[in-house]
Amino acid sequence: MTQGASRERRPVMLDVEEAGMRRGRRADSCAIVIFGASGDLARRELFPSLFELYMKGLLPAAFAVIGVAREQLDDDQFRQRMRENVMKAVTCDEGDWNEFASRIGYVQADVVAAAEEGYAAVSERFEQVRAELALDDNVLFHLAVPPSLFSTIASGLGSSGLATPRSGWRRLVVEKPFGTNRESARELDVQLRQVFDEEQIYRVDHFLGKETVQNMLVFRFANPAYEPVWNRNYIDHVQITVAEDIGIGTRANFYEQTGVVRDMLQNHLLQLLCMTAMEPPVRFDAASLRDETVKVLAAVRPIAAGIDSGAVRGQYGAGSVGGEPVAGYRDEKGVPDDSLTSTYAAVRLMLDNWRWAGVPFYLRTGKRMTRKLTEVAIHFKPTPYVMFPPEDGRAVHQSVLVFELQPDEGIVQALGAKQPGPDLAVRTVTMRFDYAEAFGVEEPPSAYAWLLLDAMQGDQTLFARSDWVDRAWQIVDPIVERWSKEGPSDFPNYEAGSAGPQAADRLLARDGRKWRKLEAGELA
């Protein structure tokens, strides 16, 4: 090629062995009974996810969905309400929806105040659709209701006979939070186990249904280049971030009772910690994988609350998100003017085991932050000898591996490379793997869709076990208890649209580290 001649550039891409969505196997013939079917969770997540499974051919040929709530609606009114929400979330045509909607029914019932007649109505409707659609005697109960009703409904299912199949199976799906502390979680577990066995209980954490969370295990255990360096010898620290740009919306009553630690740290962030830090399971099945995640929590060193011991809190004040002014937490509808509820938490966790001794795990989560972002960032140690000294006051390059969960799902690897030129200058470059783009999937599957399918298939691999829940509360209870006794003096202490309170920055600065920036496109 002569000097100055043009050169064809190849597009940057990843070649995949098999593009598109893997079909998988259908669920068993069953009825899905959703308690709290007129609520926000059912509208935003459950029905769109079930329709998504239907469109992918993963629901059984014979199935029915029965919504149960106190609101006075008939089948057509309920179907129309669900249609409006499904159309916002999933691309479809009218014919597909009408076929799916023909399997949807609604039961107006108060299963608390009028329990006996309420469960009788549900039972009657199930027997009706079972005969009409030739369903097997299988039922998945999904409790999309406040956690205070879990044990009440489970008891009602038991006393009414709905929890006892004649020939098939019964399974119970419950949402987070599972209890409000360790004691209440244990009590709730005892109450549920009076009706359902542990093998029938599916405790949902929708983060575990995300493709990238599962791919963290594949990436680490299927690629021999990474597992040998997945330890204290090569990893400097780990950062786990779950940032939300939204406020509490209309959930003031729930949030005032729950707070950020119970809402996010006790479940989502600790699950991501376990997926990152676990030992290789004997095999990828429910028992083996969940055994290893429990071991991670058992290794967590107890922490108290306060910057000197590894936990800080925050509450957002007024600010701007995406260029739009937003109110502070205390100005949200239904929030007391002097509320001390935390909307931000950051903790420094240490694992007392052979693999991770001396490696800090920094976890942070908050509302009204710079942007929506969920990621796990593995920060590797620098090379033992700096062969290529940085110039112009630049920092020494550090290799970072990032698993992105939200808003996009993918993997980013930051590497050091020589910049073209006559002298040697190291610059950071990134390799990006985007799931949707790499596999040619226009609409990546929702986490709830996969978890609902797993529950219908009887696969508990991605659901929390009771001993995991117990260990998780054991970690966070001391934080909640101390914060409840020692009210903060500086709330609100971070602006909406920011990266959180300054105390969180000092938490890492003590160790000579800093948080990754939340701005899109930042490498640091």
> Can you list the domains of the chain with their CATH numbers?
30-175 (3.40.50.720), 208-509 (3.30.360.10)
CA of 207: how far to CAs of 204, 210, 261, 461, 466, in Å?
Answer: 9, 6, 16, 13, 18
At residue 89, the pLDDT reads 74
CA distance linking residue 474 with residue 478, whole number of Å: 8
At residue 238, the pLDDT reads 98
- The residue among 38, 60, 48, 62 whose CA lies nearest residue 92 is 48
Query: What residue ranges of the chain have pLDDT lower than 50?
Result: 1-7, 9-12
Cβ density class 199-227: b for 16+ within 10 Å, e for less: ebbbbbbbbbbbbbbbbbbebbeeeeeee
CA distance linking residue 398 with residue 393, whole number of Å: 15
At residue 524, the pLDDT reads 54
- Its pTM surpasses 0.85: yes
- Between CA 484 and CA 493, with CA 487 as vertex, the angle to 5 degrees is 120
At residue 113, the pLDDT reads 87
pLDDT tens for 418-474 read: 778 787 777 778 888 887 777 777 666 688 999 999 999 999 999 999 999 999 999
Cβ contact 303:244 at 8 Å: no
Bridge partner residues of 427 (DSSP): 417
Judge whether 268 counts as a catalytic residue: yes
Q: DSSP 3-state assignment of 299?
A: helix
At residue 395, the pLDDT reads 66
At residue 91, the pLDDT reads 74
- Residue among 206, 237, 268, 379 flagged as catalytic: 268
CA distance linking residue 352 with residue 375, whole number of Å: 24
At residue 206, the pLDDT reads 83
